[in-house]
Amino acid sequence: MPELAYVNGTFCDLADAKVSIEDRGFQFADGVYEVVVAFGRRLFCMEEHLSRLANSLRGIDLDFDPVEHRIEEVVAEGVARAGFDETMVYLQITRGACSRGLAVEGPLRPTVVATFKAKPVIDAAVRERGLSVITVPDNRWARCYIKSIALLPNALARNDARRRGYDDAIFIGPDGQVREATAANVFVVRGGILVTPPKTDVILHGVTRSCVLECAAQIDLPHTESPLTADDLAAAAELFLSSTTMDFIGATRLNDSPIGDGRVGPVTRALFEQFQKGMAAFRERASSVTS
């Protein structure tokens, strides 16, 4: 089935979707986005995604209320129209189109764009092997809690990691503290405790990150949100990354040295098993709703 797009009130084939060349999203990366997954026709953690979207919009002073504009209904309709078993939705809202200039002249109509594609399947061999990652200096802007479409530093870091034979990169701040990967939150296991950097302005407050912490509570795994350093990553028994697109995947090599024993660890596996149980229950409920 064809991949689907939505542009300012109209659904169309992805290949036919168009926005103005003077859109401020294209000219200045003046916009924000969200990524949502649907199983069947049921949206996963949509309330949390809408809350974060509203926070991002406030963060760039874009006057757009996702509830008032019925964004959840738009996404739900797109998912139904696309008809995939599992759907990945990219939703992007920019300030709109106007003559090029840093200052915004007059009120604009925000541009609302979404794409609906089949959710990528993570190869089981990749989950078993684990990721290889490097650490890089964080050269992004200071407000990473905003899910901005200005992702050039992230893209450059990911591509540099790939060219050097790694899967991803983890940003380290000028204070020496771990922040996040190019598109994922970071977790380590040390001394039997699950640790992830705390929510601050310099990391994205991941929805899947919250799900991981819930899974930890469900299996009685001690966990904490505390600062980490690059040395903490190197000394960790286990390391994994989490995001909407990948769920979460263990990392087994860091800067060309093994993490722990060089294999995806037992805590990561236990957490993922718990996560899968929750997803299975969610899919079953989604199936009963759509059947």
pLDDT at 1: 65
Mean pLDDT of the chain: 95
pLDDT at 289: 60
- Burial profile 126-148: b = 16 or more Cβ within 10 angstroms, e = fewer: ebebbbbbbbbebebeeebbbbb
d(CA 116, CA 2): 9
pLDDT at 290: 55
CB atoms within 10 A of CB 116: 27
pLDDT at 105: 82
pLDDT at 283: 83
Over the stretch 194-213, which tens digit does the pLDDT of each residue have? 999 999 999 999 999 999 99
d(CA 14, CA 35): 17
Give me the DSSP letters along 123-186: PHHHHHH-EEEEEEE--S-S-TTS-BS--HHHHHHHHHHHHTT-SEEEEE-TTSBEEEESSSEE
Name the token pair of 36. Answer: 């949502």
How many residues are listed for the chain in this entry?
291
Average pLDDT over residues 5-10: 97
Return the SS3 of 90.
Answer: strand
* Residue 45 amino acid letter: C
d(CA 127, CA 162): 18
Backbone angles phi, psi at 75, to 5 degrees: -65, -45
Sign of CA dihedral 134, 140, 143, 144: negative
Average pLDDT over residues 43-64: 97
Question: Which of 237, 257, 224, 258 minimizes the C-alpha distance to 190?
Answer: 237
Report whether 144 contacts 181 (CB < 8 A).
no
Q: Looking at residue 3, what DSSP letter applies?
A: -
Name the token pair of 64. Answer: 């757009």
pLDDT at 36: 97
Give me the DSSP letters along 244-284: TTTEEEEEEEETTEESTTSS--HHHHHHHHHHHHHHHHHHH
**Crossing angle (nearest 10°) for helices 266-290 and 207-218:** 110
Q: How far apart are the first and last CA of the chain?
A: 20
Over the stretch 221-276, which tens digit does the pLDDT of each residue have? 999 999 999 999 999 999 999 999 999 999 999 999 999 999 999 999 999 999 99
Name the token pair of 216. Answer: 């930890």
Element (H, E) at 28: helix 24-28
Return the SS3 of 202.
Answer: coil
Domains and CATH numbers, the chain: 4-118 (3.30.470.10), 124-279 (3.20.10.10)
Reported as half-sphere exposure (CB side, CA atoms, 13 A), residue 169 has a value of 22
Average pLDDT over residues 143-164: 97
